[in-house]
């Protein structure tokens, strides 16, 4: 039932952090940005944070807003890992940050808070002990208030690379809101992770990979849907010109609702049969797609997590213990 796929103009298809605020510094480190480092035989940890002190989410300034939304930076050094947010440039480009897209005119640093926000909070973590985590919420959309949206309002935690640098493996812990299954009772979708290609700062790409929770599954609801398609740009011909290269469902690995789960993703880009997209939830593989996953353009947006859905509002989630590697670490789930 493809009718209920997420809108193709969303998930940053019209905006990127780099595109919204021009001139972001590009501090390119050899170990992070070099294709040779990315293909090293021994996987290298590129970044790690549990949002511990002194991680700071900065309030947007007027210069950070662009009419229908704002970008938001996260800075400081996580004292639990030693990783520094503002110098974290995966494949160059701007550091990890947030795209707050309200999808309505007149947004400024004050009004964006009426639609969405991010903050670091103290909760019981996935280990059962108190910890600091990232809390993200979208209260309403610009198009539809608290009703299910037909637009692109979203709170995206993302990386905007300047050039693609090889394989990547990402893992973190996430907890969806406890009423997610009720929200999805009418056929709908909720994003988890995605990457898109294109020219840095633009949405002119040719390939997207996305994983989302959907409620139009056969055999289990909700379930995981993982897609490879060309929905990486804002094109007036969509959905008529959409091309789905592959589309896989997983109904055997449960979708955790209101509880912490570990998400892992790895990809190797190729125009040939050695291309790979692999994902796991709580140590169980949800997809292992082999085959071409590259056309011409580099990845220019990695949506680590995206509070984005077609359901009613509010939407919210918690995230912790983010790690980014240039290959499978030794303690990755079976792959």
- pLDDT by residue for the chain (335 residues), tens only, comes to 333 334 433 444 445 554 554 433 333 333 343 443 334 468 999 999 999 999 999 999 999 999 999 999 999 999 999 999 987 779 998 899 999 999 999 999 999 999 999 999 999 999 999 999 999 999 999 999 999 998 899 999 999 999 999 999 999 999 999 999 999 988 999 999 999 999 988 888 999 999 999 999 988 789 999 999 999 987 766 667 889 999 999 999 999 999 999 999 999 999 999 999 999 999 999 999 999 999 999 999 999 999 999 999 999 999 999 999 999 999 999 99
* Phi and psi, residue 151, nearest 5°: -110, -150
pLDDT of residue 236: 63
CA distance 68 to 65: 8
pLDDT of residue 107: 98
Residue 333 lies in a domain: no
Residue 335 lies in a domain: no
**Residue 175 belongs to domain with CATH number:** 2.60.120.200
Residue 330 lies in a domain: no
The tally of domains found in the chain comes to: 1
Residue 166 lies in a domain: yes
pLDDT of residue 35: 40
pLDDT of residue 167: 98
Instruction: Print the domain residue range for 100.
Output: 2-325
CA distance 320 to 326: 20
Residue 321 lies in a domain: yes
pLDDT of residue 31: 38
CA distance 8 to 13: 7
Residue 332 lies in a domain: no
Residue 19 lies in a domain: yes
CA dihedral 109, 114, 117, 121 (to 10 degrees): 120
Residue 38 lies in a domain: yes
pLDDT of residue 57: 97
* Phi and psi, residue 101, nearest 5°: -110, 100
CA distance 267 to 39: 12
């Amino acid at each position: 039932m493809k009718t209920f796929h997420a809108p193709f103009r969303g998930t940053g298809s019209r905006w990127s952090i780099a595109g919204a605020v021009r001139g972001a510094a590009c501090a390119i480190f050899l170990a992070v940005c070099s294709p040779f480092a990315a293909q090293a035989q021994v996987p290298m940890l590129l970044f790690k944070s549990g949002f511990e002190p002194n991680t700071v989410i900065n309030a947007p300034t007027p210069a950070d807003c662009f009419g229908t939304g704002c970008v938001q930076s996260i800075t400081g050094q996580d004292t639990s890992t030693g990783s520094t947010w503002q110098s974290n440039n995966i494949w160059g480009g701007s550091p990890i940050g947030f795209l707050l897209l309200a999808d309505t005119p007149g947004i400024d640093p004050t009004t964006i808070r009426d639609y969405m926000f991010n903050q670091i909070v103290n909760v019981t973590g996935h280990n059962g002990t108190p910890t600091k985590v990232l809390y993200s919420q979208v209260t309403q959309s610009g198009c539809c208030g608290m009703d299910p949206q037909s637009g692109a309002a979203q709170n995206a935690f993302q990386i905007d690379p300047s050039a693609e640098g090889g394989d990547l493996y990402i893992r973190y812990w996430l907890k969806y809101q406890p009423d997610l299954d009720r929200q999805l009772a009418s056929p709908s979708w909720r994003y988890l992770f995605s990457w898109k290609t294109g020219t840095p700062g633009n949405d002119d790409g040719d390939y997207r990979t996305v994983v989302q929770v959907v409620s139009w599954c056969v055999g289990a609801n909700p379930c995981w849907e993982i897609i490879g398609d060309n929905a990486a740009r804002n094109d007036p011909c969509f959905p008529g010109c959409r091309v789905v290269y592959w589309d896989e469902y997983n109904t055997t690995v449960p979708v955790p609702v209101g509880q912490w789960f570990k998400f892992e993703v790895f990809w190797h880009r190729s125009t040939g049969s050695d291309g790979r997209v692999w994902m796991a939830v709580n140590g169980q593989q949800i997809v292992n797609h082999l085959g071409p996953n590259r056309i011409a353009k580099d990845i220019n947006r990695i949506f680590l997590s995206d509070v984005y859905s077609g359901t009613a509002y509010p939407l919210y989630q918690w995230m912790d213990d983010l790690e980014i590697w240039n290959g499978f670490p030794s303690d990755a789930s079976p792959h």
